[in-house]
């Protein structure tokens, strides 16, 4: 919680306490008392307020000591009750005060209430501060993961691409040069474009196309991947590397490259939203996401929650042979 908010809460609390003291205490004891002028009344109110502030902050700042052990709180209230009983005994049997119960009630009940509120303020303040600290730590953790994810390209993809391009250099140098340019574009995009929070959707789609083309070098099946785009790409902005991890996973788990349309990637683009459906075939009876390999789907979820907390929807479906990711992002005021 910001300090300014804490100060406002404390100030408001004492304004309320002062008002209650002015109305309740005054009406009970001296508004109708003869011989008590306005200055005396205000002096009594300020005295009560000052005493209340001392009691409140005495226990506000010492509350961590009591809250560490619940027995200490019991002991504190037991002492206050014992003092109140002693006060009542002295008032009744020594001072012959017939209204001693009202006196005890008027003195010790506010004290107990002030102690209670001091503890509540401290507990709530600590809870809110802990939440903010934990939120900042979690945000920092996710931000680090985000930076790793944005700058991450699977090393196997790089090695395979370079090896395949190396083979093409002897066979078809011109094609090899084109693929080398695609790889260079991806590396340049990852190194420079991903430093910003947003990039042009057109650039993101272009690098996805480059990635797919480089992956297709590894198979002679021209129908292995189906990639389609509907809608018009204009000046839309998107967080960089938001789609590629899903596409990378699709290629990683599609082992059989002889199957037509084993990977199907569709983009539906509107002015203020984009939808991606990434579908891949796998032959295992169940899909196992390898541990300790990359940052994983969970981190991608965290990144989406961080960047598009209320402006994204992701659905992951898994059948016997198909893994399907549907991601919708609202681009309008999403960041």
CA-closest candidate to residue 52, choices 15, 77, 87, 86: 15
State the DSSP code for 289: P
CA-closest candidate to residue 88, choices 102, 77, 104: 104
Higher-confidence position of 319 and 77: 319
Digit-coded pLDDT (tens) for 86-120: 767 676 666 666 666 666 666 677 777 777 878 88
Sort strands 322-330 and 312-318 into parallel, antiparallel or unpaired.
Answer: antiparallel
d(CA 121, CA 267): 51
Q: What is the pLDDT of residue 293?
A: 43
Q: Which residues of 42-76 are buried (b: 16+ CB within 10 A; e: fewer)?
A: eebbeebbeebbebbeebbeebeebeeeeeeeeeb
pLDDT at residue 304 tops 80: yes
All structural domains of the chain with their residue ranges: 3-147, 151-330
Q: What is the pLDDT of residue 82?
A: 78
Q: What is the pLDDT of residue 231?
A: 92
Share of the chain above pLDDT 90, in %: 15
pLDDT at residue 279 tops 90: yes
Q: What is the mean predicted confidence (pLDDT) over 185-200?
A: 80
pLDDT at residue 216 tops 90: no
Task: Decide: pTM greater than 0.85.
Answer: no
User: Taking the domain 151-330, which CATH number applies?
Assistant: 3.30.565.10
d(CA 305, CA 295): 15
> 231 - beta bridge partners?
269
Digit-coded pLDDT (tens) for 57-93: 887 888 777 777 777 777 777 777 777 777 676 766 6
- What is the number of residues in the chain? 335
Q: What is the pLDDT of residue 289?
A: 46
């Amino acid at each position: 919680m910001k300090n300014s908010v804490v100060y406002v809460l404390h100030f408001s609390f004492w304004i309320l306490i002062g008002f209650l003291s002015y109305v309740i205490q005054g009406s009970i004891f001296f508004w109708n008392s003869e011989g008590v002028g306005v200055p005396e009344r205000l002096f009594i109110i300020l005295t009560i307020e000052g005493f209340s502030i001392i009691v409140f902050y005495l226990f506000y700042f010492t509350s961590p000591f009591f809250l560490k052990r619940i027995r200490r709180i019991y002991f504190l209230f037991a002492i206050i009750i014992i003092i109140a009983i002693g006060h009542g005994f002295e008032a009744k049997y020594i001072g012959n005060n017939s209204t001693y119960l009202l006196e005890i009630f008027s003195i010790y009940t506010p004290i107990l209430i002030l102690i209670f509120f001091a503890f509540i303020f401290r507990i709530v303040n600590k809870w809110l501060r802990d939440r903010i600290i934990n939120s900042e730590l979690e945000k920092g953790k996710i931000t680090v993961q985000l930076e790793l994810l944005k700058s991450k390209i699977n090393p196997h993809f790089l090695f395979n691409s370079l090896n395949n391009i190396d083979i093409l250099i002897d066979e078809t140098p011109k094609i090899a040069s084109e693929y080398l340019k695609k790889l260079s574009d991806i590396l340049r995009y990852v190194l420079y474009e991903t430093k910003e929070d947003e990039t042009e959707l057109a650039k993101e789609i272009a690098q996805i196309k480059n990635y797919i083309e480089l992956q297709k070098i590894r198979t002679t099946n021209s129908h292995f991947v189906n990639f389609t785009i509907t809608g018009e790409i204009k000046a839309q902005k998107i967080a960089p590397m938001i789609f590629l991890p899903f596409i990378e996973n699709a290629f990683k788990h599609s082992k059989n490259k002889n199957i037509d349309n084993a990977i199907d990637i569709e983009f539906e683009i509107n002015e203020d939203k984009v939808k991606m459906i990434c579908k891949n075939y796998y032959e295992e009876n169940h899909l196992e996401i390898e541990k300790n390999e990359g940052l994983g789907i969970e981190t991608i979820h965290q990144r989406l929650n961080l960047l598009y907390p209320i402006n994204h929807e992701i659905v992951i479906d898994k059948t016997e042979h198909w893994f399907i990711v549907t991601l919708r992002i609202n681009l309008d005021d999403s960041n």
